[in-house]
A and B are shown apart, each in its own frame.
Chain A
Amino acid sequence: MHLANQPQWMTDVYVRASDNTVLSIGQPPPGGVAGTTQVDVLRLKPNYQPQVGQVLDPSQIDDLFEIKTSVGGKISSIQKTALRDVMNGGRIQVVSSPRRWTHGGGWHATPRITKVIKIFSMVGMAASTGMAVKAIVNRDDYDDELDLVIAAFDRAAQATNEADRVLAKMEVVELLHNYLAHFMPAADAAKIVQWKQMEAALLNW
């Protein structure tokens, strides 16, 4: 689905460092991440939808966001340089997540923010929204609702039979609609969660 004249969102985009060619979207490139730049979130101009194999056009990027989960929210100097290369020297935005990644026994714990990004990758691939990324990750006032979405996704991913899985997915759709409705017209929110994209997100949950 595509909403005309609305900004487009893309998350977890890998581009080749030397020429900003898009190598993969939503997952690391098959050939590995050496020589690449990983972009957390892009807000693109309406009607611009770069594909794998195309060179990113910085003039068509409204905002580039880096999401940090450390206490200080500090971006490494190299990553900052890499992202500004994507923007051909233009500025980037660093978003500090209110939830921190904790040690939890060898740094294996999947942070909440990863799940949030996966959910919004699904949304971002399905459609365009007017949401600000800062709103997505920093809205303490709606955090409880987002946690309900995550919990429903967990249930869908862990369901041991198809009936439970379908019920949990229906719950995800309803909860996510409710959450997104805080940031966009409810009618738009109802359109953007697609069953197919949710299946893809669940596969990588």
Chain B
Amino acid sequence: MSQNGIIEFYSEHQHPSVHRLVMGAAELTGAAEAVSVWRSMGPDRGWLDFIEDVDESDDELLGRNVPLSQLSGLFMSDRVLKVRFGETPLGLRIDQAIRAGIPESIRGDHAPCDPFLVIGFHDLFFEDESHPEGRLVGRPFFSFQLFGYGTPSDWKQFRALIFGVSELKELKAKLEAFTGPMAQCVYWSI
């Protein structure tokens, strides 16, 4: 029962240069390569699939251990590119910053820090006890996500404190330097 959480910075505006977007974001992770790269088989219809209770459309695996320089070339305008990173220097810094910045009584052992990029218009939505039927947040063109297993002990307090963590504020500022203003949210999957 792998419960997990996602911290997400996202932008709903289509960026003029996907190459700059992908390279800028990927380089921020400090990783030499992506663990895996996936691409949707067509335009994203995540929210519709969710509310209609049908299986999500499939993604295709484009490669494992893909060098950063190859990432942007895998983007297609009507598809969604998903880039997964495992343990990264950025993730380790964020993990430490969350543990230092949020009391254990609130975060439990939860510190989402594994980077994941999503490029191409896609639905951002989640479901939880407050939104058992799901909640559609937006349809970003670009998302920089930080993933981690578990959930906090206190969701409300964690949500109130997480974006005050210095490493996350710094990451958002660095992203916004080439993406423009980004929104942010945190949610959990149980």
Contact = CB atoms under 8 A, between A and B. Distances in A.
Interface stretch (B19-27, B87-95, B178-186): B87-95
- Interface residue SS majority, chain A: loop
Interface stretch (A72-80, A163-171, A172-180): A72-80
A38 interface: yes
A108 B151 CA distance: 10
Contacts, number: 121
Contact of B86 (A35, A67, A71, A107): A35
Interface residues of A, number: 43
Contacts of B87: 16-18, 34-35
**Chain B interface residue count: which class?**
35 or more
A4 B113 CA distance: 42
B76 to A, nearest CB: 18
Interface string A60-99: 0000001111111011111111101100110000000100
Contact of B84 (A34, A78, A111): A78
Contacts of A77: 46, 82, 118
Interface in B119-171: 127-129, 132-134, 145, 147-155
B72 interface: no
A101 interface: yes
A140 to B, nearest CB: 18
Given A40-B2, A71-B127, 7 more contacts: A17-B35, A35-B91, A72-B132, A76-B6, A78-B4, A81-B59, A81-B84
Interface of A: 16-18, 28, 32-36, 38-40, 66-72, 74-82, 84-85, 88-89, 97, 101-103, 106-108, 111, 113-114, 117
Interface of B: 1-2, 4, 6, 35-36, 38, 46, 50, 53, 56, 59-61, 64-65, 82, 84-88, 91-92, 95, 111, 113-114, 116, 118, 127-129, 132-134, 145, 147-155, 189-190
